[in-house]
Structure 1
Amino acid sequence: MIAPAPAIPTGAQLMRHLVESAGAAREPAADMADLAEMIRTLIAVEAQRDTRVRLGGNLFDVVITSSGIQARSAIALMDEVQGGCGPVIEDPESGWFYWLVPPGSSSRWAPHTHAVCLGAPHTITLPSLNRSVPPGPYWFRPSASDRLVPTGPLREALAQLRPEPTPHAALAARLEIPT
């Protein structure tokens, strides 16, 4: 016995299904919120304003270390490894460096005695692209569209140079993580 072929929905049935599955008329689609956030970020960058962005996704994660002499030596080492270190932000108030590393690095980052790697759902405020000196956070190594800091060589440099003080306790307190 041959089963009848499934009925092909009419155009009207397809439209009704799409309308019903779209949700409330004033409720934006989830992917549109992401797009709107990305557009706001691009406008802020173009206007040379500090810009808050989510870590992870398609952009980057961040490795946090002290910004002391050992960390500065790690930047010099990364300059050699990369032919110019990838983007690093210094926050003189906290005494930290924020190394911008490839997205997804936080999920692969094993605990490190001198650094912490964060990704989603955390955020970071990027200084305007023209800020290269204090006060406030600034680009110690400017952001270039063609590179991030590779985690393997960075991890080795930090293990070798051991920047102090470590950010773990201060970061846990800032993020309100029980220790």
Structure 2
Amino acid sequence: MTTSLQTHPSGADVMQGLVESAGPHHQPAADMADLKQVVRTLLDVQALRTTRVRLGGNLFDVVITSSGLQARGAVALMDEIQGGCGPVIEDPESGWLYWLVPPGSRATWEPHDHAVCLSAPHVITLPSLNRTVPPGPYWLRPSASDRLVPTVPLREALAQIRPEPAPHAALAAQLGIPT
């Protein structure tokens, strides 16, 4: 009686074969190079940890204004317009509000006397989703997965309400940009 032993390729062997069969196109796409970091960031946010996020890409850009009474009037106006304003972070230390706006907004944002719009390569630190009061940055309007702050109504609200002081000079100094 003859017994035949068959060996089956391991999972690693199968994966390596698939990679090799892809030929020169087996390299990850350039836009996927930082997928690991994006996933880690989103998991940190979901786990209620403070985390740094690169602006732009597929997530969001940010509009920066002062956080005084006038800016709070703009938040109230956006509450009316949106049926509850999209995500806004207040940073009491800097005296700024960070309005999370759709990705690509920086490319169409015209200069504004009372606000600045930033995108990549800048980063923002998102507070834990459960941080809704100071100390430190907190969610003045919580982040919801289904909305961001629309730029056209925000721009109009800021032009109407004119929150002061404008962030331009302080932001330029923080970023090391000569004025």
Correspondent of 1:18 among 3, 17, 23: 23
Which string of whole-angstrom CA distances, capped at 9 and with x for unpartnered residues, describes residues 79-112 of structure 1? 1100000000000000000000000000100000
Cα distance in 1 for partners of 2:41, 2:22 equals 34
Cα distance in 1 for partners of 2:63, 2:49 equals 23
Distance verdict in 2 for CA 1:31–1:110, change over 3 Å: closer
Cα distance in 1 for partners of 2:80, 2:103 equals 23
The residue number in structure 1 matching 2:6 is none
Given residue 171 of structure 1, which amino acid in structure 2 is its aligned partner?
L
Cα distance in 2 for partners of 1:33, 1:63 equals 27
Alpha-carbon offset, residue 22 of structure 1: 6.1
Given residue 23 of structure 2, which amino acid in structure 1 is its aligned partner?
L
The residue number in structure 2 matching 1:173 is 173
Cα distance in 1 for partners of 2:64, 2:88 equals 10
With normalisation by structure 1, the TM-score equals 0.84
Matched, 1:145 2:121: no
Which string of whole-angstrom CA distances, capped at 9 and with x for unpartnered residues, describes residues 37-72 of structure 1? 112112211321111111111100000000001100
Alpha-carbon offset, residue 34 of structure 1: 1.4
Structural mapping, 1:1-179, within 5 Å: 15=20, 18=23, 30-179=30-179
Cα distance in 2 for partners of 1:40, 1:85 equals 27
Distance verdict in 2 for CA 1:36–1:156, change over 3 Å: same
Cα distance in 2 for partners of 1:63, 1:126 equals 14
With normalisation by structure 2, the TM-score equals 0.84
The residue number in structure 1 matching 2:9 is none
Alpha-carbon offset, residue 130 of structure 1: 0.5
3-state SS of the aligned residue for 2:34? helix
Distance verdict in 2 for CA 1:29–1:104, change over 3 Å: closer
Please, which runs of 5 or more residues in structure 2 have no aligned partner?
A: 1-19
Alpha-carbon offset, residue 29 of structure 1: 6.7
3-state SS of the aligned residue for 1:147? coil
Query: Aligned-residue CA RMSD in angstroms?
Result: 1.9
3-state SS of the aligned residue for 1:160? helix
3-state SS of the aligned residue for 2:33? helix
3-state SS of the aligned residue for 2:110? coil
Cα distance in 2 for partners of 1:43, 1:63 equals 24
How many residue pairs align between the two structures? 161
